[in-house]
A and B are shown apart, each in its own frame.
Chain A
Amino acid sequence: MSSTEQPPVALTIAGTDSGGGAGLTADVRAFAACGVHGSVAVTAVTVQNSLGVTGFHEVPVDVVAAQIRTVAGDMGVDAAKTGMLATRAIIEAVVGACDAVGIGRRSATGAGVPFVVDPVAASMHGSPLLADDALDAVRTELLPRATLVTPNLDEIALLADVKVVDDDSAREAAAALHAMGAAAVLVKGGHLEATTGRAQPECVDLLSLDSGEVHEFRSARLARPHTHGGGDSLAAAITAGLARGMSLVDAVALGKAFITRAVEHSYPLGAGHGPVRAMPM
């Protein structure tokens, strides 16, 4: 029978992927699979398939901000995440709207709702999804507002100029991102094999909290070529966990379980990289 209660609401501030594998399209699936209602603020429309991104259309900054305000003002937001933000102007509009409606750590209305920043800088094919001058805005505008930032190793190199090759350098990277203002940092080790050229039997993600606590999340490394949308899906599942009221550590554990299963059941699509599969948790 139809429910009488509103489910938790998560918001993604992201670009669409016409191929349906990544971006907002992956987020909407991951939210639904993790038991929360997904709302969206579209930042950009990408022309994309399994081979890459061939074009994109930016949404005007006032429309991006209006989507955030209209969702928060009616159904409320229990946790939010960012994906592709494209430009400095969009980042500035996003943080302005988030501050105003109570999302993130600089909320005008007191303790802000959890804000997960996935600092998407490039597509998995290497196409830039962030203008050069926007990288500094990620550092100065987004990270100080972030409950959690979830960079992959390439994004860490761009943001913090740290090359992660082992546990020590992962901790060094986390410290650098904390210093930029992020309350918690998840260093995703998924790209470690490619970065170091050494075989890695496990995927180790390191969660560093501002209390100084560090948690490791380990899973067997799966030899899967189809991991498009993996980073988006992980951040979305963590955001869903936070929207459900979980602690950060529990939400990351949910995200890790979700993404491990999604990668295991990933599928080929088109001539290039297929996507991970969102499966109900």
Chain B
Amino acid sequence: MTETPPRALTIAGSDSGGAAGLEADLRAMTACGVHGCVAVTAVTVQNSLGVSDVHLVPPAVVAAQVRAVVSDIGVGAAKTGMLATAGIIEAVAAVVDEVGIGRDDDRTPFLVDPVAASMYGEPLLADDAMDAVRTLLFPRAALVTPNLDEVRLLAGVTVTDRDTAGKAADALHDLGARWVLVKGGHLHGSPEVTDLLSDGERTWEFTGPRIETPHVHGAGDALASAACAGLARGLPMPDAVAYAERYIRRAVAASYPLGAGTGPVSPLWAVADWDREPSGVEQPHR
């Protein structure tokens, strides 16, 4: 028997193809040495070509899962993925308040990955739910991790370079998020990928070479889950994001084809040793 590892909770949808959603979250959390718990919001019928159907879990069952996990197992951080509807968002906002998950230092860190659409463009969030993300989730978020499409939907800012990324971060910070990570991965044509982290005053840039692979399904989920794992391990915010940035580069580099469409990042067997690597990758601070 060994010690209880740090725990993290994902509040997310299931991807039957196993590439994204809570399945990607569980793999990333496991690779990062954290026990992953789940509150399932939706069951998607999905493969490498797209999402063909979605079954929603009742908001009361979503909230009950969060309560069951936090009251017994306890978590060091929580994240959201696909929340689907305003009704589920309202239930999540209420239950995180109830169990002590949220934005500020007196709460368990709450990471909001504002998933609005699948990578194929299919909506994973009802139209009226976008406003609930802004008004109910952002003011509770220790960190938000939008991609450039989500930045445009949420803040109305089109990011094309460093300046516009900074403007977007400010706009999202103004919505109430304590920290904002603007992910530049969707900015094509650049040989490098830069993600910008901001707390409204200071900024950190994470830059690396663009890894040429079409198989990046679940990359956003895996990055957010690794950041959530870093927070669950007790890292302060910039270090948790740096930890996740190192993880996702390794996970993208080890991506693989699957089906006729887009394959996933993060095969556990290729990255399971990643945070014990002696060179190149730092151990997270405790």
Contacts and interface: CB of A to CB of B under 8 A. Distances in A.
Contacts of B7: 20, 269
Interface string B36-54: 1111100101111100110
Nearest to B8: A20
B37 A267 contact: no
Interface stretch (B71-79, B130-138, B220-228): B71-79
Contacts of A67: 16, 43, 45
Interface in A18-68: 18-20, 24-25, 28-29, 32-35, 37-42, 45, 47-51, 54-55, 57, 59-60, 63, 66-67
A280 B269 contact: yes
B253 A1 contact: yes
B17 A28 contact: no
A2 B269 contact: no
Given A19-B72, A37-B267, A280-B268, A4 B257 contact: yes
Contacts of A37: 18, 256, 258, 264, 267
A57 to B, nearest CB: 5
Given A3-B257, A19-B69, A33-B268, A25 B26 contact: yes
Contacts of B22: 16
Given A3-B257, A28-B18, A33-B272, A20 B2 contact: no
A49 to B, nearest CB: 4
A2 B255 contact: yes
A226 interface: yes
Given A47-B61, A267-B1, A71 B72 contact: no
A33 B47 contact: no
Given A18-B39, A20-B35, A57 B258 contact: no
A275 B7 CA distance: 12
A51 B71 CA distance: 11
A74 B18 CA distance: 12
Contacts of B74: 270
A2 B211 contact: yes
A124 to B, nearest CB: 15
B18 A267 contact: no
B1 A226 contact: yes
B45 A35 contact: no
Contacts, number: 186
B49 to A, nearest CB: 6
Contacts of A42: 14, 16, 40, 43
A265 B22 CA distance: 24
B261 interface: yes
A95 B39 CA distance: 28
A81 interface: no
A28 B26 CA distance: 8
A60 B264 CA distance: 27
B68 interface: yes
Nearest to B24: A28
B47 A74 contact: yes
Contact of A71 (B17, B73, B261, B272): B17
Contacts of B23: 28, 38, 40
Nearest to A26: B26
Given A67-B45, A224-B1, A280 B272 contact: yes
B45 A45 contact: no
B72 A51 contact: yes
A245 interface: no
B215 A49 contact: no
A275 B46 CA distance: 29
Nearest to A66: B45
A218 B224 CA distance: 42
State the 7 A-B residue pairs at the shortest beta-carbon distance, nearest first: A32-B268, A74-B47, A75-B259, A49-B72, A74-B259, A18-B65, A3-B256
Given A3-B256, A18-B65, 14 more contacts: A3-B257, A19-B72, A32-B30, A42-B14, A49-B71, A57-B58, A57-B61, A71-B47, A74-B47, A267-B35, A268-B1, A269-B7, A274-B4, A278-B30
20 contacts: A5-B256, A6-B256, A18-B65, A18-B68, A25-B26, A29-B268, A32-B27, A37-B264, A42-B40, A42-B43, A45-B61, A47-B61, A47-B64, A57-B57, A70-B17, A71-B16, A74-B47, A267-B1, A268-B1, A280-B272
